[in-house]
């Protein structure tokens, strides 16, 4: 039977825009002081793992979370983990978008000038292929919406199923196996 890796998915810690609910894809902003503290609190949790591969979005908030959590040596930056491109919705909140598109979610409606769920899934599939080929547990540092697509693709779901999952800032989700079936072992937790 082939080796079955576990993937520890870490959503970056708090930024000013994640705190205010502004959609942040390509805008490269740092963690808040609270976010830096939360990222440091991940260090003892992640120290209990012997990761064979550590991958981060190249954006500052994900890299900074990884570094403060003690994962900097050998950290591979992969644009496949960059946040969903919100296009014209960059920097605005869901409430603002819903003034013109009342039932909008990133999973159900397009982002003008941004990415589709299928485009995000293609990026994520490449990252997960690397994770499955690794020779041990893998840690991924990513963002809220792309992280939810990571969960979906691990489970074999379409990106739109991401609407059913929550990934709070500075939390971990552990993806693994229930016998031969991809499964969520822990989700949106601090332990």
Percent composition of the chain: helix, strand, coil (DSSP 3-state, to 5): 40, 20, 45
With vertex at residue 73, the alpha carbon angle to CA 40 and CA 144, rounded to the nearest 5 degrees, is 50
For 118: left if phi > 0, alpha if psi spans -120 to 50, otherwise beta; the answer is: alpha
φ, ψ at 119 (rounded to 5°): -65, -40
53-56 vs 138-142, strand pairing mode: parallel
With vertex at residue 135, the alpha carbon angle to CA 166 and CA 118, rounded to the nearest 5 degrees, is 40
CB atoms within 10 A of CB 133: 12
Active site residue ranges? 12, 83
| Residue 53 three-state SS | strand
172-178 vs 138-142, strand pairing mode: unpaired
Please name which of 75, 57, 21, 58 lies closest in space to residue 150, comparing C-alpha atoms.
57
């Amino acid at each position: 039977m082939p080796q079955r890796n576990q993937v520890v998915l870490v959503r970056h810690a708090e930024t000013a825009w994640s705190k205010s609910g502004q959609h942040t894809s390509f805008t490269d902003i740092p963690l808040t002081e609270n976010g830096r503290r939360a990222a440091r609190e991940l260090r003892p949790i992640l120290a209990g793992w012997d990761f064979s591969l550590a991958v981060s979005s190249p954006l500052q908030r994900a890299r900074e979370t990884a570094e403060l959590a003690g994962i900097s040596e050998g950290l591979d930056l992969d644009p496949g983990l960059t946040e969903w491109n919100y296009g014209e919705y960059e920097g605005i909140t869901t409430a603002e978008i819903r003034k013109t598109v009342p039932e909008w979610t990133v999973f159900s409606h397009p982002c003008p000038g941004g990415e589709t769920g299928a485009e995000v899934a293609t990026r994520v599939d490449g990252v997960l292929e690397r994770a499955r080929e690794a020779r041990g547990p893998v840690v991924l540092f990513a963002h809220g919406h792309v992280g939810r697509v990571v969960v979906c693709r691990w489970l074999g779901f379409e990106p739109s199923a991401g609407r059913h999952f929550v990934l709070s800032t500075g939390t971990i989700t552990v993806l693994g196996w229930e016998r031969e079936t991809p499964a969520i072992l822990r989700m949106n937790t601090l332990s």
